[in-house]
Amino acid sequence: MAHISIKDVSKSYGALQVLKPFSLEVEDGEFLVLVGPSGCGKSTMLKILAGLEPASDGQIFIGDREVTDLAPGDRDIAMVFQNYALYPHLTVRQNIGFGLKMRGMSATDIEARVQTAAKTLAVDAYLDRKPKDLSGGQRQRVALGRAIVREPRAFLMDEPLSNLDAKLRVHMRAEISALHKRVGVTTVYVTHDQVEAMTMADRVVIMRNGEIQQIAAPDVLFQRPDNLFVASFIGSPG
């Protein structure tokens, strides 16, 4: 687990500034949700945290280590995307263990870690199946397993539920929240769905046009929105 600290980060693509300078602290073990309309810069923010896009300016710290210029693989974080493609030709066991194998871990250690991760996500009964023989929810859990097996210091998730049908999405929200309570890893979770944000977050970051509008716990956002945009976005009375 680690504290994440973002200091004066901004992002431009050519003349287009997609993130105005912002600073943000994510507490150790916190579940922080970034929410806002499509195109407001949520994915860009997450990619910068992950090291998949360079920031135009500013600094990022994970724990007490500056990671601003580190490659994604050196940041000790795991990412779960919307298109969580599993390897179709590999079993669940091989899918979950794949990243560890790439790191050169021994087969015995990989198996032990895969077992633990699979139990945590209740996919331990399916370890020998291929992805095509799993339900959507089981596949999503395997994708999460692939992330937690690495025992990262932080999780970044970009709309991980948006490919699921409405009923499964609601179910997986609860599963991800429960997983977070069990594992306790600092998590930054992106969604455009305000209900998802309000039900899952310790604190919510409301974004609009590349700018943070308010950062607060769900009940505070609801009772004391800082501006009209926040109020109408989360559907608060005022």
- Residue 160 contacts ligand ADP per CB under 6 A: no
For ligand ADP, the binding residue among 33, 44, 121, 172 (CB under 6 A) is: 44
- Compute CA distances 165 → 16, 43, 137, 161, whole Å: 34, 21, 10, 9
Closest CA to 217 of 205, 207, 208: 205
Nearer to ligand ADP, 48 or 221 (CB): 48
Q: Give backbone dihedrals phi and psi of 48, rounded to 5 degrees, phi first.
A: -65, -40
Q: Are 44 and 19 in contact (CB under 8 A)?
A: yes
> Smallest gap, in angstroms, from Cβ of residue 196 to Mg ion?
14
Contact segment (CB under 6 A) with ligand ADP among 1-9, 10-18, 174-182, 211-219 equals 10-18
* Partner that binds at residue 40, options Mg ion, ligand ADP, none, CB closer than 5 to 8 Å by kind: ligand ADP
Please tell me the distance from the alpha carbon of residue 11 to that of residue 65, in angstroms, as a whole number: 21
Partner in contact with 4, chosen from ligand ADP, Mg ion, none, beta carbon below 5 to 8 Å by kind: none
**Which range of residues in 36-44, 62-70, 165-173, 195-203 is near ligand ADP by CB under 6 A?**
36-44
Q: Which residue is associated with the tokens 């974080």?
A: 77
Per-residue contact string for residues 25-64; x = within reach of Mg ion by CB under 5 A: ------------------x---------------------
Asked if 41 interacts with ligand ADP (CB under 6 A), we say yes
Q: Could you tell me if 68 and 59 are in contact, meaning their C-beta atoms sit under 8 angstroms apart?
A: yes
Helix (H, G, I), strand (E, B) or coil at 143: helix
Partner touching 91 among ligand ADP, Mg ion, none, CB below 5 to 8 Å by kind: none
Q: Give the residue, chosen from 2, 6, 18, 67, that forms a contact with ligand ADP under the rule CB under 6 A.
A: 18
Residue 11 CB coordination number (10 Å): 23
Burial class (CB in 10 A: 0-12, 13-18, 19+), 63: middle
Q: Which does 120 bind (CB under 5 to 8 A by kind): ligand ADP, Mg ion, none?
A: none
**Pair of tokens at residue 197:** 């944000």
Residues that bind Mg ion (CB under 5 A): 43
Binding site for ligand ADP (CB under 6 A): 13, 16, 18, 36, 38-44
